[in-house]
């Protein structure tokens, strides 16, 4: 074959493959009225978001944009919503047989700077997924709020007690990387971001180490970053920086039970197992924790189950199957802001108050 023709053909094939792999999702829009919203109330919601200090919001109904406000294309840190992002990767790798959730910390060779006890080493991956490990070792990216009520070490057996614990979540990240031989960010890009056609997440990441020599120079600007705190634990927190529009795609994937354009990216059974209320922590309001997701259980005023995750109390990714709705709310917490719990609950009230 003529070499010029050969290289031309190769280039065409390569470009065609690239276009297929990197095709970005094209969102459709739906009229607010058709989606069950009052347009005037959505206008009021937009004004509230502006005044409260939100950075963006997206509401999808039936996979279409019913409401979009703010800089939905700008990535910033999602904080604890990173845990919901990890859920999909575990579902995929458990289904492939790469990860066995019955393996214990001892089986996996997991230990830490303050040695785990024999009891702690019996914690299984399944216990960590539910934040019921019984391991109360110090951890990276742990807020003062997380420390309140933290049990003493060895005070509960693995699986016995729910405590929202960053040691569990950080070590889950380390186990995933250990068992797959790939970084979380590489896995997420290959298994989730590319198939969904995410616009902004490309799997690029940085590493920061917070120690006595650490000088804060602002947040890393890539798609994610490992946060090491070597005086607390050898396992880093794995932070994600994502845009509202990419998060909306992820939420829609879960609304569709893991199926995307005919391909089952995440096993449906895994998602259904993940959003069971294993740990009801506020039965009065129907609040529970599942596996890397919060669960809203049915109550006297709520007839259906939904699930969500929040980040530092202001970011939210909510999936409401009965309403076929995905809600994404963002605040730019990489800079000073005054958005607090009252603004957060005010936002929730106005979203649902805008429904006809």
What does the pLDDT read at residue 156? 99
Equal fold, 29-71+252-261+268-356 vs 75-242: yes
Whether 285 contacts 270, CB under 8 Å: no
> Contact at 8 Å (CB) between 312 and 142?
no
Per-domain boundaries in the chain: 29-71+252-261+268-356, 75-242
The torsion defined by the Cα of 269, 315, 327 and 342, in degrees rounded to 10, comes to 120
pLDDT at 13: 40
Quote the pLDDT of residue 146. 87
pLDDT score at 94 = 99
CB atoms near residue 177 (< 10 Å): 16
Place of tokens 């807020």: 143
CATH 3.40.710.10 assigned to domain 29-71+252-261+268-356? The reply is yes
Residues 6+ apart with CB under 8 A from 98: 179, 180
- Encode pLDDT of 255-265 as tens digits: 999 999 999 99
The answer to whether 351 and 54 have CB atoms below 8 angstroms apart is no
> From start to end of the chain, where are the E strands?
56-61, 64-70, 76-77, 205-209, 224-228, 237-242, 259-260, 263-264, 279-282, 287-289, 294-296, 306-311, 315-320, 325-330
Nearest to 242, CA basis, from 196, 209, 286 = 196
What is the pLDDT at residue 18? 39
Which tokens belong to 94? 């458990």
For the chain, 356 residues long, the average pLDDT of each consecutive 10-residue run is: 44 40 88 98 98 98 99 98 99 99 99 99 99 98 90 98 98 99 98 98 96 74 97 98 99 99 99 98 96 97 94 98 98 94 97 94
C-alpha 225/C-alpha 199 separation (Å) is 19
Q: Distance of CA 121 to CAs 26, 27, 99, 135, 164, Å? A: 47, 46, 17, 8, 19
Rg (CA), the chain: 21
Beta strands across the sheet bearing 76-77: 76-77, 237-242, 224-228, 205-209
Amino acid 356: pLDDT: 76
Question: Which is it for strands 76-77 and 294-296: parallel, antiparallel or unpaired?
Answer: unpaired
- Residue 21: the pLDDT is 52
Contact, 178 vs 105, CB < 8 A?
no
pLDDT of residue 144: 87
Nearest to 54 by CA among 314, 351, 355: 314
* Structure token pair of residue 30: 């739906």
pTM of the model: 0.93
CATH of domain 75-242: 3.40.710.10
Q: Which residues contact 29 (CB under 8 A, 6 or more apart)?
A: 64, 65, 66
28 CB-contact burial (10 Å; exposed 0-12 / middle 13-18 / buried 19+):
exposed
| DSSP bridge partners of 238 | 226
């Amino acid at each position: 074959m003529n070499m010029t023709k050969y290289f031309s053909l190769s280039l065409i094939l390569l470009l065609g493959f690239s276009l297929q792999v990197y095709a970005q999702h094209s969102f459709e829009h739906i009229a607010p009225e058709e989606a069950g919203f009052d347009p005037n109330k959505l206008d009021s919601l937009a004004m509230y978001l502006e005044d409260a200090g939100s950075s963006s919001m997206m509401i999808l109904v039936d996979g279409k944009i019913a409401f979009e406000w703010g800089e939905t294309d700008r990535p910033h840190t999602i904080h604890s919503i990173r845990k919901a992002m990890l859920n999909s990767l575990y579902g995929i790798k458990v289904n492939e047989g790469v990860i066995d959730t019955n393996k214990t910390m001892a089986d996996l060779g997991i230990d830490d700077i303050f040695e785990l006890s024999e009891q702690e080493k019996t914690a299984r991956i399944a216990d960590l997924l539910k934040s019921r490990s019984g391991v109360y070792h110090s951890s990276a990216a742990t807020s003062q709020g997380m420390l309140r009520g933290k049990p003493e070490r060895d005070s509960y057996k693995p699986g016995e007690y729910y405590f929202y614990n960053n040691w569990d979540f950080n070590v889950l990240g380390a186990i995933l990387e250990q068992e797959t031989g790939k970084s979380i960010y590489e896995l997420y890009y290959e298994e989730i971001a590319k198939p969904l056609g995410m616009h902004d997440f490309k799997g690029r990441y940085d590493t920061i180490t917070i120690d006595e020599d650490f000088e804060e120079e602002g947040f890393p600007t890539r798609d994610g970053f490992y946060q090491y705190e070597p005086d607390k634990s050898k396992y880093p927190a794995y932070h994600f920086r994502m845009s509202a529009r990419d998060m909306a795609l992820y939420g829609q994937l879960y609304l569709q039970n893991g199926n995307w354009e005919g391909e089952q990216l995440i096993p449906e059974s895994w998602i259904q197992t993940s959003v069971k209320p294993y740990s009801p922590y506020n039965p009065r309001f129907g609040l529970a924790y599942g596996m890397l997701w919060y669960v809203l259980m049915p109550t006297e005023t709520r007839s259906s189950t939904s699930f969500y995750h929040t980040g530092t109390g202001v970011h939210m990714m909510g999936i409401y199957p009965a309403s076929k709705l995905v809600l994404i709310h963002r605040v730019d917490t990489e800079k000073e802001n005054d958005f607090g719990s009252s603004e957060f609950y005010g936002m929730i009230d106005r979203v649902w108050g805008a429904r006809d």
